[in-house]
């Protein structure tokens, strides 16, 4: 993708550095802290996991986040079909999220994209020279504090983190365009 200009985008990268056997990889939260330290995060920004093909409007998610007082907005999918174990639920005007806890009575799954406030990342940063952390842990804590608003999507995502997932998506897209 380069700098994104060929696609009408502006892309800036924050390199996490080489893997160090004596230190864990930074994790998504750690990578965001590094990007924050480098001045690369805007007031609000998107975090998108790269192993999913999302069937939603990022523009609509962004508009929902901008219209909310919440410092974060998480896209979630109703899991009525039981695609995978639920890890999110709507709790009034807030979303609750948990990874690994007993969520057997929860109704939604994290869709893999959120809008976050730079302030949340700044608050995570403890000044550690090599920050690390799992964004899932941070999202769970923010959701317990009522700082995550839900954005419900209706179309399931496609997993593209494996060759088999990519092949399934390619077949589905070819069938749609027939």
pLDDT at 177: 77
pLDDT at 120: 95
- Per residue of the chain (178 residues), give pLDDT as tens: 889 999 998 888 877 767 677 777 778 888 899 899 999 999 999 999 888 999 999 999 999 999 999 999 999 999 887 778 899 999 889 999 998 777 888 999 999 999 999 999 999 887 776 677 889 999 999 999 999 999 999 998 898 999 999 999 999 889 987 6
Confirm if 170 and 93 have CB atoms less than 8 A apart.
Answer: no
Q: How many CA atoms lie within 13 A of 105 on its CB side?
A: 1
Could you give the residue ranges of the DSSP H alpha helices within the chain? Answer: 27-37, 58-66, 118-124, 135-144, 163-176
pLDDT at 139: 94
Backbone angles phi, psi at 170, to 5 degrees: -60, -45
Cβ-based neighbours of 160, under 8 Å, separated by 6 or more: 51, 52, 53, 166, 169
- pTM for the model stands at 0.86
């Amino acid at each position: 993708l380069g700098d994104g200009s060929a696609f009408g985008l502006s892309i800036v990268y924050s390199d996490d550095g080489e893997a160090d056997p004596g230190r864990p990889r930074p994790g998504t939260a750690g990578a965001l802290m590094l990007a924050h330290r480098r001045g690369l995060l805007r007031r609000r920004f998107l975090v998108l996991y790269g192993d999913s093909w999302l069937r939603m409007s990022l523009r609509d998610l962004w508009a929902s986040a901008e219209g909310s007082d919440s410092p974060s907005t998480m896209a979630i999918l109703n899991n009525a079909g039981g695609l995978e174990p639920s890890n999110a639920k709507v709790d009034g005007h807030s979303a609750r999220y948990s990874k690994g806890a007993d969520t057997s009575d929860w109704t939604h799954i994290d869709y893999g994209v959120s809008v976050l406030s730079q302030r949340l990342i700044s608050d995570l940063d403890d000044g550690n020279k090599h920050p690390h952390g799992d964004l899932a842990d941070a999202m769970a804590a923010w959701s317990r504090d009522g700082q995550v608003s839900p954005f419900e999507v209706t179309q399931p995502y496609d997993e593209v983190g494996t060759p088999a997932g990519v092949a399934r998506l390619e077949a589905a897209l070819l069938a749609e365009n027939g």
